[in-house]
Amino acid sequence: MSDVPLILEPEQLAPLLEHEEIKVVDLSAPANYLAGHIPGAIGLPFQALLAGTPPAPGKLPSLERLTEVFRAIGLTPETHIVACDDEGGGWAGRLLWTLDVIGHKKYSYLNGGMHAWKSAGLPLSSEDSAVTPSEIELSIAADAPVIEAQEIQQRLDNNDLQIWDARSPEEHSGEKVLAMKGGHIPGAINCEWTQLMDPQRDLRIRLDAKEFLAALGIDGSKEIATHCQSHHRSAFTWLVGKSLGFPIKAYPGSWSEWGNLPDTPVEN
């Protein structure tokens, strides 16, 4: 299934469901998953993808924990994962970013997620999906799209790294403080994640995303590090950047780490 695009429309996914190497993983709220999901889709609680430990709960879980999660959903080297959710792409993006971190490149995003699937009138199931666990062995990829606080701090004066802050304007400005320090990483460009979703098209990625970001100064000419508070919102902005061909990484510690470290510089 090497020809499956990264951004997949509902009408493209529907005929692929009969292929056994295609595995749909739904990160919607459990009640929404149970009320109706794509036939055969596996429900995965988003908490499984987070370390969950303060002060930076959005960091990656241990490799052992990730191995348990991916074995439980039946991941094999041949599996092509299609991720969806019910909120416009944050948790789906987090799953795809995690797959990229472990070097599993066979993945797609259902554009618009369950909003788009339901709007297209495609079939829904309320049955739990049977999963055959796998025995996959995981490691962190050498080219994992991860950047940490220390590297960001070292590169702030180099002018070779762009920070994309996916939080709200109030968090970016320091008006709303969710850590010891408020504000933003020096030089960071603020583009709230929801600005990349089109509410007129069932929360699909906006068609003019590239032009919209370029007008803000995010054009892929430099490496990009994206973050939010816990790398949930920024998992979607990472996905959008990747879909546009940008050299983009994510900072999973995000503001919950940066804003609580004693020596990190802040602007507001």
Which residue numbers are catalytic? 228
- The backbone torsions φ and ψ at residue 43, rounded to the nearest 5 degrees and listed phi first, read -85, 130
Neighbours of 144 (CB within 10 A): 17
- For residue 29, give the nearest of 98, 85, 84, 72 by alpha carbon: 85
Six-digit token string for 240 = 């959008």
DSSP state, 200? Answer: G
Which letter does DSSP use for residue 185 in this model?
A: -
**Residue 262 DSSP label:** T
3-state SS assignment for residue 212? helix
Long-range CB contacts for residues 152-160, cutoff 8 Å, separation at least 24: 152/185, 152/225, 152/251, 152/258, 153/263, 153/264, 153/265, 156/185, 156/186, 156/187, 156/265, 159/222, 160/222, 160/223
Other beta carbons within 10 angstroms of residue 73's beta carbon come to 20
